[in-house]
Amino acid sequence: MNTTSHFDWSYLATALPLLLVGLRMTVVVALSCIFFSLILGYIGSAILYFEIPFAYRCVRGYIALIRNTPLLVQIFFFYFGLPEIGIRVDATLSGIIVLSLWGGAYQTENLRGALLSLPRALIEGARSLGIHPLRIYISVMLPVATRTVVPALMNTSVSITKNSALLTAIGVPEFTYVAMDNIASTYRSLENFFALFVGYLTVVLAMSAVANLVEHSLGRGFRK
């Protein structure tokens, strides 16, 4: 019998509802991680920029740790290691936490670069108007810095989305998990891998399109 080597559209149609549930999970996880990683990025880059004494070293260490170790090991450490000292979080939530922390380190670096490249005149001008430094950071520096760094932020966001596939390893029922589970139960690898490729390509290309829109709308009024 040679059933597994032929592409079976009708099987794909029956598997589709379940795959879409998985894809929705991937999108939900990715969006929440992107959101939290951006918050971490804004806080972290502010700490690095203002060189707040103790926090500065902490953020530096956090970035070095996240960037120099594999995400998969971080996930396992959090999900299988931490319960031994009493921190027990369920799979989806720990996935979101680890992925947000991971993305946060990269977003911090992205935003720090943008903050450092701001023209001095912008900050000095705001200071000379007597605005509080925190206020300057929030209302002057952040909007201008964000605008210049949208491509890098979106790059990291796409990486976060793709890396959400790693959460399969701890049993988060996202897209890859559903597809691999289908393969394990029906041996229909061709159809499921096809669905995976199409699904991830769609999500990533959609994100690139959104990135272009965001870049365009943030850049409005600044083009010569």
Partner 1 sequence: MNIQLIYANAGFFTKAALLTLAMFAASVALATLIAVIFGGLATIKNSAVRTAFRIVIEFLRDVPLIVNVFFVFFGAPIFGLQLGPIEATVVSLALWGGANGAEIVRGGINAVSAHQIESARALGLSRLCVFAFIVVPQAVRPIIPAYAGLCTVLLQSTSLGALVGAPELLKSAQIIIERAAYFQGGMPGMTVYTFILVLYFAAGSTLTRLTRSLERRLNRSTQPS
Per CB under 8 A, residues contacting partner 1 are: 4-5, 64-65, 67-74, 76-77, 80-85, 162-166, 168-169, 176, 180, 183, 189-190, 193, 196-197, 200-201, 204-205
Q: Which is nearer to partner 1, 94 or 168 (CB)?
A: 168
- Least distance from partner 1 to the Cβ atom of residue 122, Å: 27
- Least distance from partner 1 to the Cβ atom of residue 213, Å: 18
- Least distance from partner 1 to the Cβ atom of residue 5, Å: 5
> Do residues 95 and 169 make contact, with C-beta atoms less than 8 angstroms apart?
no
79: its two tokens = 């999900």
Q: Which is nearer to partner 1, 115 or 170 (CB)?
A: 170
> Do residues 56 and 108 make contact, with C-beta atoms less than 8 angstroms apart?
no
Q: Which is nearer to partner 1, 21 or 52 (CB)?
A: 21
- Least distance from partner 1 to the Cβ atom of residue 71, Å: 7
> Do residues 110 and 50 make contact, with C-beta atoms less than 8 angstroms apart?
no
Q: Which is nearer to partner 1, 83 or 125 (CB)?
A: 83
- Least distance from partner 1 to the Cβ atom of residue 176, Å: 6
Q: Which is nearer to partner 1, 94 or 163 (CB)?
A: 163
Own/partner long-range contacts of 19-24 (Cβ < 8 Å, ≥24 apart): 19/175, 19/178, 19/179, 19/182, 19/192, 19/195, 19/199, 21/173, 21/178, 22/173, 22/174, 22/175, 22/176, 22/177, 22/178, 22/179, 23/175, 23/199, 23/203
